Amino acid sequence: MRTRVTAWTPAPPTLADTDPFERASLAARVLAGRRTVVLTGAGVSTPSGIPDYRSPDAIPRNPMTIEQFLSSADFRRHYWARNHLGWRHMDAATPNAAHRAITDLQRAGLATGVITQNVDMLHLKAGSRPVLDIHGSYGRVICLSCGRTQSRHLLAQSLEEANPGFADRVRGRGAIEVAPDADAVLDDTSDFRIVDCAACGGVLKPDIVYFGESVPRPVVDRAFAMVDDADAMLVAGSSLSVMSGLRFVRHAARSGKPVVIVNRGHTRGDDVAAVKIDHRCEAILPMLVDLSRASAPHVSNAFV
């Protein structure tokens, strides 16, 4: 039988001299015996070499918005040229200790599923099931006219044929700086040829949610259902700066479900967290797996 706690005192900020093991132990006691849904952000994937937008040491960037992408072929050519290089880096990335720890939580029956804000597919590569990609996936491409989808690998072949030697020429100029969201830093894209939908000639777009674009309603509804089906929430690697993730944390808190947050730096959900751990996910999550396995049969569901 599930136990629901309706209120708690928000966790105090994590101090720099706080022992991470003590905080992880506290988090394990809070989550013990509770079916936990996991919400992840970019901080889970940075150890895999995928840069982010909002960590304390992230490089300031101006990502393309959906308005820009739709406004002109020049913007779309610029995007696809950069993506033609950057997606390979994301495709080659492998899961790190944080992804594997979340998979371990699922396999141990401690986590019910993963809601991720990342588009890198690393949770799937790590073996997590189910995984809900609320911002889409770099591995799919969609036609904005007919809705046809295809794999990014298939589009890569078409782009290679349309732009023979492009990647090699760019690499010849020096190292390529990789940006978030399967992008790369590239200024001159004037000679790149974009490819339209093979079925209808429409505009192709990565099947990801751009800045300024809304998460599809069915995806939002499924995420809320995953939160409702769980007894607690674990947030890993997200500053919760955007509402697409924060709304699920607030929903969990309003429903009386404890929220544990592991993230470097402040998050917008700290005020409703039962436990906040200001540390790297790849260090804390494996620790939390071991502690949760050990404490689950013995610890009550009361907040500590």
- What positions carry a catalytic annotation? 135
Q: What is the rounded CA–CA span in Å between residue 284 and residue 22?
A: 11
Across the chain, the runs of DSSP E, i.e. the strands, are 36-40, 111-116, 131-133, 136-143, 149-151, 178-179, 183-184, 204-208, 232-236, 259-262, 275-277
Q: What is the rounded CA–CA span in Å between residue 285 and residue 28?
A: 10
Asked whether the bond before 12 is cis by omega within 30 degrees of 0, the reply is no
Q: What is the rounded CA–CA span in Å between residue 2 and residue 161?
A: 57
Spatial contact of 28 and 38, defined as CB atoms under 8 Å apart: no
C-alpha separations of 280 from 22, 88, 198, 222 in Å = 15, 26, 44, 28
Q: What is the rounded CA–CA span in Å between residue 292 and residue 295?
A: 5
